[in-house]
């Protein structure tokens, strides 16, 4: 198949897709070891569980850190086995999955609409802040959009061709999507609503045998997770219960007012005001810039206009509305992680808008101008997104929100011992710690920061200090030592470990700041002792 340009030359379709995917890969992989800085605790918990998988533990659901679906963690385990305990080992999974998401979106657009819509949507998805950021952090939500897109593409093909093979594949992939992220559960509502739409207006796609096969295969894949939740009911909803607007502590006695506010905030995500959390987005930046945002509105209007006679438009509208529910029904809307489920169809709307604009100009004898306008909007959107993101990941708020100070603390240990990740590259350094060197770390720092536990390989050279109130005999350290202490507790026991007749240096470590705080504080203090050597 080919895409034909207005000046008559033919470009093979696979070349277009390959170029878009290559551009997406470049944006996701460049400087992945450095940006974003640090390693946020949710990412680190995924790494810790990946290490447990490598030790032989294979749970179907990971209970730590409010509970997490397993697919991302098992993929991370493969990467950690290759690259070691580094941030890049975890984020490489997201970068690769995020890159493969682009052809998945393209294929879905190709099945639902045409090559033009698929191409425009793929370009937007390749270079939008939301998808770019999601592909550079080790959050499990990144695995949901490509699986849902592939499942919908196969489902659509199976329904239109009346072939069972694609429907089996759709069911398998759809079932796997429940092992990605909690919001995947809402997709059941979207499919039920779409079935109702088909029954009312497009009975030719209401193929009961095909839908039943799709549902049966999907249910078989989901069954192990469902059985686990039957025995661990609280695990299925622990995080949802914490953040749900049905919780009186969240809605504050005004449920309906909260629901209205949340809905308006979620709808404003696309063109008005985006997520404020720097780990998810450039704070408050909407998904689309002014030009692509207008195309998005035009595309939504076109889909609404065509909804009755166009099942593809109906599916996209239903999916978009339903997959906004996870952020509407949880505090802090708009929340771009919880809204990740809209991504499989989101970019088709501005693509439809751009396609409609191009067609309208063509009918008025302005074909070349229309083509130039469309590509201009795509170029401006891509440049604006990449520029905003590049500036964002170097900002102070990203430094603090990714808990970079804890990563710098881990690097103090690794660089001193000469093993583990050294702060550059994807791979962690293998080998034994340098001889005659020991590190002593405050227990509070070790236990409170998951990134330290992930990044620092446990060895005989790394010692976790007892609590300050422990009544233990003191003894001097033999050889050189590094003490990493929390500055706001009694450190007399730790300091008593420093050997006599040694050179001792003291310096402040990095500073940290909570998400809702305006002032930073010192995270740790470093004491280093070296054996005194006299000429």
One domain for residues 59 and 160: yes
Query: What's the rounded Cα separation, in Å, for the pair 239 and 295?
Result: 36
* Bridge pairing between strands 502-508 and 10-12: unpaired
Q: Give yes or no for a contact between 187 and 323, defined as CB atoms under 8 angstroms apart.
A: yes
Predicted pLDDT at 10: 72
Query: What's the rounded Cα separation, in Å, for the pair 427 and 280?
Result: 25
One domain for residues 235 and 101: yes
Predicted pLDDT at 533: 56
Please say which residue of 378, 399, 420 terminates a domain: 399
One domain for residues 386 and 424: no
Predicted pLDDT at 532: 60
Q: Identify which of 359, 411, 307, 461 has the alpha carbon closest to the alpha carbon of residue 120.
A: 359
The conformation of residue 276, written as its DSSP 8-state character, comes to -
One domain for residues 359 and 445: no
Predicted pLDDT at 232: 87
Range of the domain at 499: 403-531
Beta-carbon neighbour count of residue 234 at 10 Å?
10
Predicted pLDDT at 1: 43
One domain for residues 427 and 395: no
Please say which residue of 368, 399, 430 terminates a domain: 399
Query: What's the rounded Cα separation, in Å, for the pair 303 and 522?
Result: 53
The percent helix, strand, coil of the chain (3-state, each to 5) is: 60, 10, 30
CA of 497: how far to CAs of 53, 337, 474, 506, in Å?
36, 46, 7, 15
Return the sign of the alpha-carbon dihedral for residues 45, 47, 52, 57. Answer: positive
One domain for residues 377 and 469: no
Predicted pLDDT at 79: 98
Beta-carbon neighbour count of residue 3 at 10 Å?
16
Both structure tokens of 305: 């206009």
Predicted pLDDT at 430: 85
Helix (H) or strand (E) holding 525: strand 525-531
One domain for residues 349 and 479: no
Predicted pLDDT at 428: 95
Range 98-101, long-range pairs (CB < 8 A, 24+ positions): 98/24, 98/28, 98/131, 98/132, 98/134, 98/135, 98/136, 98/142, 99/21, 99/24, 99/25, 99/28, 99/29, 99/135, 100/146, 101/125, 101/131, 101/135, 101/142, 101/145, 101/146, 101/149, 101/343
One domain for residues 386 and 414: no
One domain for residues 378 and 422: no
Number of domains in the chain: 2
One domain for residues 393 and 407: no
Query: What's the rounded Cα separation, in Å, for the pair 285 and 355?
Result: 25
One domain for residues 37 and 93: yes
Q: Give yes or no for a contact between 83 and 89, defined as CB atoms under 8 angstroms apart.
A: yes
One domain for residues 394 and 414: no
pLDDT 10s per residue in the chain (535 long)?
A: 444 444 335 788 999 999 999 999 999 999 999 999 999 999 999 999 999 999 999 999 999 988 999 999 999 999 999 999 999 999 999 999 999 999 999 999 999 999 999 999 999 999 999 999 999 999 999 999 999 999 999 999 999 999 999 999 999 999 999 999 999 999 999 999 999 999 999 999 999 999 999 999 999 999 999 999 999 888 777 777 788 999 888 888 999 999 999 999 999 999 999 999 999 999 999 999 999 999 999 999 999 999 999 999 999 999 999 999 999 999 999 999 999 999 999 999 999 999 999 999 999 999 999 999 999 999 999 999 999 999 999 999 999 999 999 999 999 999 999 999 999 999 998 888 999 899 999 999 999 999 999 999 888 899 999 887 776 655 667 778 999 999 999 998 888 888 878 899 999 999 999 998 999 999 999 999 987 654 4
Please say which residue of 399, 427, 461 terminates a domain: 399
């Amino acid at each position: 198949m080919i895409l034909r340009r207005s000046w008559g030359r033919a470009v093979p379709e696979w070349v277009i897709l390959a170029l878009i995917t290559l551009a997406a890969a470049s944006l996701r992989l460049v400087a992945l070891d450095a940006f974003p800085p640090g390693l946020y605790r949710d990412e680190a918990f995924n790494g810790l569980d990946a290490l447990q998988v490598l030790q032989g533990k294979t749970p179907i659901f990971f209970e730590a850190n409010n509970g997490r679906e397993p697919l991302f963690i098992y993929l991370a385990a493969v990467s950690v086995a290759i690259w070691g305990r580094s941030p890049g080992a975890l984020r490489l999974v997201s970068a690769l999955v995020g890159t493969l998401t682009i052809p998945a979106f393209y294929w879905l657009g190709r099945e639902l609409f045409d090559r033009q819509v698929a191409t425009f949507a793929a370009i937007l998805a390749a270079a939008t802040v939301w998808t770019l950021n999601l592909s550079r952090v080790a959050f499990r939500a990144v695995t949901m959009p490509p699986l849902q897109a592939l499942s919908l593409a196969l489902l659509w093909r199976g329904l239109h061709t009346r072939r069972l093979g694609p429907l089996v594949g759709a069911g398998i992939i759809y079932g796997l999507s429940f092992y990605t992220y909690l919001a995947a559960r809402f997709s059941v509502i979207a499919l039920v609503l779409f079935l109702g739409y088909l029954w009312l207006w497009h009975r030719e796609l209401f193929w009961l045998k095909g839908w039943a096969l799709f549902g049966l295969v999907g249910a078989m894949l989901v069954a192990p997770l469902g059985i686990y939740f039957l025995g661990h009911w609280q695990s299925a909803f622990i995080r949802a219960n914490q953040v749900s607007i049905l919780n009186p502590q969240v809605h504050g006695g005004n449920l309906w007012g909260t629901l209205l506010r949340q809905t308006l905030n979620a709808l404003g995500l696309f063109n008005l005001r985006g997520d404020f959390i720097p780990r998810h987005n450039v704070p408050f930046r909407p998904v689309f810039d002014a030009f692509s945002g207008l195309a998005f509105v035009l595309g939504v209007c076109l889909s609404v206009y065509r909804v009755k006679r166009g099942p593809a438009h109906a599916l996209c509208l239903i999916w978009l509305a339903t997959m906004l529910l996870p952020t509407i029904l949880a505090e802090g809307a708009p929340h771009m992680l919880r809204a990740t489920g809209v991504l499989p169809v989101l970019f088709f709307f501005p693509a439809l808008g751009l396609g409609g604009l191009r067609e309208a100009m063509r009918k008025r004898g302005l074909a070349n101008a229309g083509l130039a306008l469309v590509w201009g909007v795509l170029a401006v959107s891509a440049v604006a997104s990449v520029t905003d993101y590049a500036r964002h990941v170097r900002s102070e708020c990203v430094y603090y929100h990714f808990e970079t100070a804890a990563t710098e603390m881990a690097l103090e240990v690794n660089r001193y011992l000469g093993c583990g990740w050294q702060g550059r590259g994807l791979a962690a350094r293998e080998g034994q710690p340098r001889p005659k060197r020991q590190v002593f770390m405050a227990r509070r720092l070790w236990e409170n920061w998951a990134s330290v536990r992930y990044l620092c390989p446990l060895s005989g050279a790394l010692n976790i200090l007892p609590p300050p109130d422990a009544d233990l005999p003191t003894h001097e350290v033999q050889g050189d030592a590094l003490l990493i202490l929390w500055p706001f507790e009694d450190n007399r026991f730790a300091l008593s470990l420093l050997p006599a007749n040694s050179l001792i240096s003291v310096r402040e470590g990095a500073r940290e700041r909570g998400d809702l705080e305006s002032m930073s504080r010192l995270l740790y203090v470093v004491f280093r002792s070296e054996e005194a050597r006299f000429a």
